[in-house]
Amino acid sequence: MQKKDFWKGFGAACALVAVLYGGKHMMIQMHQLPPFFGEYAKLQLLETYLEDYYVEAYDADVTKEMMYAGLVAGIGDPYTYYLPEDSLKQQMETNSGHFVGIGVSIYAENDGYIVVKDVTKDSPADLAGIQAEDKIVAVDGENIKGMKASEVSDKVKGKAGTEVTLEIYRPSTADTKTIKVTREDIQVHSVQYEMMEDDIGYISISNFRENTYAQFQDALQALQKQHMAGLILDLRENTGGLVRAAHQIGDELLPEGTMVYTMDKEGHREDTICDANYTDIPLVVLVNEHSASASEILAGAIQDTQRGELIGTTTFGKGLVQRLFTLPDGSGLNVTIQKYYTPKGRSIHGVGIEPDIYVALPKETKGNLHIEAKEDTQLQTAIETLQQKMM
């Protein structure tokens, strides 16, 4: 008999004792057992009551997933959480920065329909004419109304080069059409750049993924070829991502020394170091209240080393580092394992980083390539500050 079968059998036996001899007697029995035995018996007893008495049908697999999630949630840390198998796959895909599909993000509406949230520019879906707010009625002839968004996403994804047929309803025109789309390896672009007036380079990083550093290198080299004399690094709305990617970018911009250091529960310190080779041009960094985690690591290092000025509003304040563990059944556990500190020893968790020059936007907006520069007061301040540094 396998070990898990033994535990299952023992738990069932404990539950049977509860039914035959009553709650009071069972409490005595459970107190006499080692803690693990008693906890397992309690779970089995709860399952028995639900199966025997709950008036509606329910999915036992879902209740178990919620049990695992609840156990981890009991820590009280929003950054430590359990991921079911499909959620883990999605997070790993997000971290990678690319996926095989058609280039859409979707969500489920209350009416049971799956709606296209947005379409990646120049993706197969974009070139096929699929638009945001379109409703997906069927995938390869199968009606998908009532399915979870993750289930529909799995049906739309597949091997690169294969076709998927979507039946699309467009509310704006009340038209329904059938569209064939060829799946491709979609690269998610987290870096945008342009050359502005006065040889000022502009690079915006939306988050840190596995392919972000390569995209940053391409942007930096392209701007250098255009004789960039100063750089604006835009980290507004950047909620973080992979610390490794933030370090790689920091190594391109920061002088030799500690970029960030972490401390674990045992008090062990680990320093992340930048080498002596870096792009030494005037630099300013844009941040706001949504700049968090890995973006704060980079911004904090730039501020502490006096490599450049931070402009904008106070950052989010997430000074914790997580590690993602993959469990044997394909699910995952994201755990806060360290606290991080800027080169000068500042812990910014819960307080954020105060910019060197505080500038609030007159309206809610994101500083990126799609915003008119004249309307972006933070960007305008960055340009003026950089011009002074370049004189």
Catalytic residue list: 293, 304, 318
DSSP 216: H
122-136 core/surface letters (b: 16 or more CB in 10 A; e: else): ebbbbebebeeebbb
Q: Which residues contact 292 (CB under 8 A, 6 or more apart)?
A: 238, 239, 240, 315, 316, 317, 318
Classify strands 283-287 and 230-234 as parallel, antiparallel or unpaired: parallel
CB 297 within 8 A of CB 311: no
Nearest to 298 by CA among 270, 259, 252, 263: 259
Q: What is the spatial distance between Cα 243 and Cα 331, in angstroms, rounded to a whole number?
A: 22
Classify strands 357-358 and 309-312 as parallel, antiparallel or unpaired: parallel
254-277 core/surface letters (b: 16 or more CB in 10 A; e: else): beeebbbbbeeeeeeeeebebeee
Nearest to 342 by CA among 382, 288, 290, 306: 306
